[in-house]
Amino acid sequence: MLIALDYDKTYTADPALWNDFVQLAQNRGHTVKIVTMRTPVETIVNAPIEVVYTSRKAKSAVINADIWIDDSPQWVYQDSL
């Protein structure tokens, strides 16, 4: 499975929890990527996994994940202004 994990207010709310989750998921053969509406200029520093920047586009238009973990799920299918 490909699991898309939001960064702001999701991963950042409890990085230790999500780091454990990522490790467990990877150990079971899954791929986890941070998917953010940020632009590449708004770099996430020291991310433990690959970061996908959507540049304010709907996340699902940029990456085809099986599972979305996001505190604002509307951004999975909707562009930001």
What would the pLDDT profile of 33-51 be if each residue is shown by its tens digit? 999 999 999 999 999 999 9
Closest residue by Cα to residue 52 from 74, 68, 72, 30: 68
Q: Is the pLDDT of residue 26 over 90?
A: yes
Query: What is this structure's pTM?
Result: 0.96
Cβ atoms within 10 Å of 34's Cβ, excluding its own: 22
Coil, helix or strand for 77?
Answer: helix
Average pLDDT for 56-72: 98
